[in-house]
Amino acid sequence: MIKVKDKLMIGGEVLESRLFTGTGKFSNKEVITETIEAAKSQVVTMALRRVDFDSKEENVINYIPDDSILLPNTSGARTAEEAVRIARIAKAAGCGNWIKIEVISDNKYLMPDNQETIKATEVLAQEGFVVLPYVTPDLMVAKRLEEVGAAAVMPLGAPIGSNRGLKTKELIRILIDEIDLPIVVDAGIGKPSQAAEAMEMGADAVLVNTAIATAKDPVTMGRAFDWAVRAGREAYLAGTGVVKNYASASSPLTGFLKGE
């Protein structure tokens, strides 16, 4: 058994869990707490517009375990300016200084606006935020985000909420190979096996919401994703075998059953 002290650090926080989870799309808010606990997630994201301080039942923060690291997102922002404003409001509301930047003006495919995301990241990083920008995987964009102070890069695996898996796999692989920041695969992961695949590639973490929240049993699905992420990370650390285009016997094919 491999014994490795393997922890992820983002924004000065040491993370034991590499599975980030969300709080949207749950049919019943009461199950959010149990699901997060089953998934063993430390980082939990939520849309600021779902935080209602006037209603205990509607305020999603009341369903997030107290020891979680809150990762408010700027869902609904269409420009860098709007994202910055939402981030400042979240911090002022007591949500901490972590922020996931989402800038989306495309209503059909919900693809992030990379350039506006870079602008927002630069402003907020200078203000002391721990910024995790959500982007379409692009090496030059990731390098620019690194330059302006992002704490991690969150490339999408497939269109948000699609559960289609790692459709941008080869582009994400380039970011893993070339960017020193943690790479957190976000959006599109629909099955635990897909999360394991991302981790086997060398991704530092994954963020999963829709696949867990819309499962028939979100609690059990959260637990399954926890296992998958840990298994994928162990496989990456172990070092997977070389892929070959031809057969290679695992046992000798000669030297046995020799005649008298």
The catalytic residue positions are 100
**Alpha-carbon dihedral of residues 225, 130, 150, 43, nearest 10 degrees?**
0
DSSP β-ladder status, 8-10 and 13-15 = antiparallel
d(CA 200, CA 193): 10
Q: b vs e for 133-168, b when ≥16 Cβ sit within 10 Å of the residue's Cβ?
A: bbbebbeebbebbbebbbbbbbbbbbbbbbbebbeb
d(CA 88, CA 90): 5
Per DSSP, the three-state class of 128 is: coil
DSSP per residue, 193-255: HHHHHHHHHT-SEEEESHHHHTSSSHHHHHHHHHHHHHHHHHHHHH-PPPP-SS---SS-SSS
Using an 8 Å Cβ cutoff, are 61 and 38 in contact? no
d(CA 13, CA 69): 9
Residue type, 145: L
